[in-house]
């Protein structure tokens, strides 16, 4: 069962439609007890890092999610779905913000773009591609104010450049994740989903 995690932060429909288009059947899971049977997990995260981590805990998804990922269940994360793999996000530093840590499966933190218009909105190119499910110079669609900085550079699967160079994708054992919205990146994005998602 390919689980598509939904914690109430939009975007599920878009990903489900894209998966459906490429012939991948997924089951929406919003509670921990339903994640147990997952043979593969996809999580498109949109919104506040802290709020999303809080939702994982509220829905008893956090423990089972961590357990399955550590066990080797294939994971594909999108946007905040990549950021939560890390230890901490600067987004939780803003006042009145939900203060939650990340899963810490990957060492490193999530930081904010320092200059330019924020969020970065639009198509940017992938560089330094190290994964066979991505292509150098491919244009993909980003909407982000924050980005992950892996402590171990070998997990970086691609970078991109906005006001700073930043990590655009990671790969580590059973884990694959992208900062951009593969489900909104046209045919390029669909191809990435086809290659990256392990059923």
Partner 1 sequence: MLATRIIPCLDIKDRMVVKGIKFQALEKVGDPADLARRYYESGADELVFLDTQATIKGKKTILSLVKKVAKQIFIPLTVGGGIRSVKDAEAIFSAGAEKVALNTAIVIKPALITEITDSFGSQSLVASIDAVKKGKNKWEVCINAGTKPTGIDTVRWAKEVEKRGAGEILLTSIDRDGTMSGYDIELTRIVSDSVHIPVIASGGGGDIKSIAEVVVKGKADAVLLASILHYGKTGIKEIKSELKSLNIRVR
Is there binding between residue 161 and partner 1 (CB under 8 A)?
yes
* CA-wise closest residue to 140 among 195, 82, 180, 80: 180
**Residue numbers 76-115 binding partner 1 by CB under 8 A:** none
Burial group, residue 135, by CB count within 10 angstroms (0-12, 13-18, 19+): middle
What is the nearest approach in angstroms of partner 1 to the Cβ of residue 8?
Answer: 10
Sign of the C-alpha dihedral computed for residues 60, 6, 19 and 125 taken in this order: negative
What residues are paired with 175 via a beta bridge? 75, 172
- Interface stretch with partner 1, choices 6-14, 27-35, 100-108, 167-175 (CB under 8 A): 6-14
Q: To which residue do tokens 């591609």 refer?
A: 129
Quick note: the x/- pattern for partner 1 over 28-67, rule CB under 8 A, is ------------------xxx-------------------
Is there binding between residue 123 and partner 1 (CB under 8 A)?
yes
Joined tokens for residue 190: 């669909």
The site for partner 1, by CB under 8 A, has a size of: 33
Is there binding between residue 117 and partner 1 (CB under 8 A)?
yes
Q: Which is nearer to partner 1, 104 or 122 (CB)?
A: 122
Among 72, 104, 153, 186, indicate the residue that binds partner 1 (CB under 8 A).
186
Among 84, 185, 196, 197, indicate the residue that binds partner 1 (CB under 8 A).
185
* CA-wise closest residue to 151 among 167, 162, 139, 135: 167
Is there binding between residue 190 and partner 1 (CB under 8 A)?
yes
Residue 195, SS3?
helix
* CA-wise closest residue to 172 among 100, 102, 112, 82: 82
Secondary structure of 78-97 in the HEC alphabet?
A: EEHHHHCCCCEEHHHHCCCC
Residues involved in catalysis? 79, 181, 183
List interacting residues with partner 1 (CB under 8 A): 9-10, 13-14, 17-18, 21, 46-48, 116-125, 139, 141-143, 161-162, 183-187, 189-190
């Amino acid at each position: 069962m390919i689980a598509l995690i939904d914690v109430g932060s939009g975007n599920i429909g878009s990903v489900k439609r894209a998966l459906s288009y490429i012939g991948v059947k997924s089951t929406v899971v919003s509670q921990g007890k339903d994640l147990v049977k997952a043979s593969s997990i996809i999580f498109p995260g949109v919104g506040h890092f802290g709020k999303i981590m809080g939702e994982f805990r509220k829905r008893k998804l956090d423990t089972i999610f961590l357990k399955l990922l550590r066990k080797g269940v294939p994971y594909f994360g999108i946007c905040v779905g990549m950021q939560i793999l890390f230890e901490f996000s600067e987004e939780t530093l803003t006042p009145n913000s939900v203060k939650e840590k990340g899963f810490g499966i990957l060492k490193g933190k999530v930081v904010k773009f320092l200059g330019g218009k924020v969020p970065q909105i639009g198509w940017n190119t992938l560089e330094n591609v190290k994964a066979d499910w991505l292509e150098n110079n491919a244009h993909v669609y980003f909407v982000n104010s924050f980005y992950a900085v892996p402590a171990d550079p070998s997990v970086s699967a691609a970078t991109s450049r906005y006001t700073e160079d930043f990590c655009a994708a990671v790969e580590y054992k059973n884990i694959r994740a992208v900062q951009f919205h593969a489900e909104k990146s046209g045919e390029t994005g669909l191809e990435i989903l086809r290659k990256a998602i392990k059923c």
